[in-house]
Structure 1
Amino acid sequence: MSLPATAQSALDAFAACPGWEQRARLLMQWGDQLAPLTDAERCEANRVTGCESQVWLLAEHADGHWQFRASSDARLLRGLLALLLARVNGLTRAEMAHLDLPAWFSQLGLARHLSPSRSNGLQAVLARMQLLESADQGAGAPTIS
């Protein structure tokens, strides 16, 4: 499966970083690029459970492809969310089902720097994406307004 253009840009940018300090700075810059969510979007219905920090996720499914928006109250986590969104936005349902999240963060050179709680939080976000995806097949997922 080929990478979305934004994911390839992320991979290239992180590959150019010689060490963790540069990657951490780049990670926070990616987080700063996330589109902000409104107060109304930062509601309990959009909150991801299983994360130590507050994380909100919204989904839209159009023409067979997914677009997600997310935010967090934690700056480092916003960066991780931005990289996750870069990897998943635009994928089909089938492509989402085969996403290897640990491999993605390993490719970026970030996996060994993720605490178990952050890794679990990212897995919770991916699980919520898949839940929204399966809800969309039936009654309809919450969508971006």
Structure 2
Amino acid sequence: MRDRAAPGRAGIGLREYAMCDLLLLDDDPLVRSTLGEALRDAGLGVTEAASEAEALAVLRDEPVKPRVLITDLDLRTGRNGFVVAAIAQALVPTIAVIYITGRPDVLEGRELGAGERVLAKPFRPSQLVELLHDLKIQAPPAMPGRHATPPPAG
């Protein structure tokens, strides 16, 4: 498996995986890269987006749609994570959503759907992987000649 750049969208690194496509939206580069690395280490395919525009471009333009959107609620690059999730669910009705937030109070009075979960910050990346398992999202089995996780660069 190799990294490939999405044509016309510099900054979005896509990974080729047969299954388990996750779209990770967080405007904080450190949080995004840490979570992305942990998810890849767990054998999951991850597309990282730094903004609402990047995430929506993936949802609209990529032929293989992600099965899960993992989004921060407090996006400083546009709309909040609830709005982005609603658009994602309209574009990909089967998409599950995991909201991550440092302000769980914004969830008061909000009913979550069957495919929605919340993870309050701070959390360990392993807790995110556990939530994905709860949603029945797991790494695909390794195929002969392919790695479940990308080999180290170099």
Q: Specify which structure has the higher proportion of strand.
A: 2
Output the TM-score relative to the length of structure 1.
Answer: 0.26
Which structure would you say has the larger RCO, counting Cα contacts within 8 Å and 6 or more residues apart?
1
Q: TM-score, normalised by structure 2?
A: 0.26
Q: Higher helix fraction: Structure 1 or Structure 2?
A: 1
